[in-house]
Amino acid sequence: MAVRRRRRQGSEPLWLDDEAGRLVRPYTVSNGRTRPTAHFDLLTMVIATGKPPVTCQGPDYMQVLGLCGGPVSVAEVAAHIRLPAVVTKVLLADLVDCGALTARAPAQTPHGASPRTDRALLEAVLHGLRQRL
């Protein structure tokens, strides 16, 4: 029985198959590594530095760099490239190590203190949601 692979429409890479999904196993992308060299929270923001990566080559690295033109969270990158967060963190750490990305951890509140919320902002969001629904 022959397997027919079709390329998805748009900018989807060739290593995705319409019926089978991703043709490369997720941990192959990170060479089996499951621990990034730097700590990343899912809310850590990453952005491209503009420096071309010398050591980080390959379609997955280029795809990640393409997503990081502006500040983007680790969770967003993982969702866009359709890889587990831990694999995404390994790719991002590699790109930070070679200078192609910079990362900023989310702001921390002092232990025991509750984060301040802007009531006006929350009310504006609530009003916008009510209008949409």
Contacts of 34 (CB under 8 A, 6+ apart): 27, 86, 87, 90
Prediction pTM value: 0.61
**Residue 130 reports pLDDT greater than 60:** yes
Q: What is the pLDDT of residues 66-117, one digit of tens each?
A: 999 999 999 999 999 888 888 889 889 989 988 989 999 887 766 666 667 7
| Distance separating alpha carbons of residues 116 and 120, to the nearest angstrom | 12
Mean per-residue pLDDT for 36-58? 85
Q: Which of 37, 45, 26 is nearest to 85 (CA)?
A: 26
Q: Can you name the residues that pair with 46 across neighbouring β-strands?
A: 72, 103
Q: What is the pLDDT of residues 102-111, one digit of tens each?
A: 999 887 766 6
pLDDT greater at residue 4 or residue 94:
94
Taking residue 79's Cβ as centre, other Cβ atoms within 10 Å add up to 13
- Give me the half-sphere count of Cα atoms (radius 13 Å) on the Cβ side of residue 92: 31
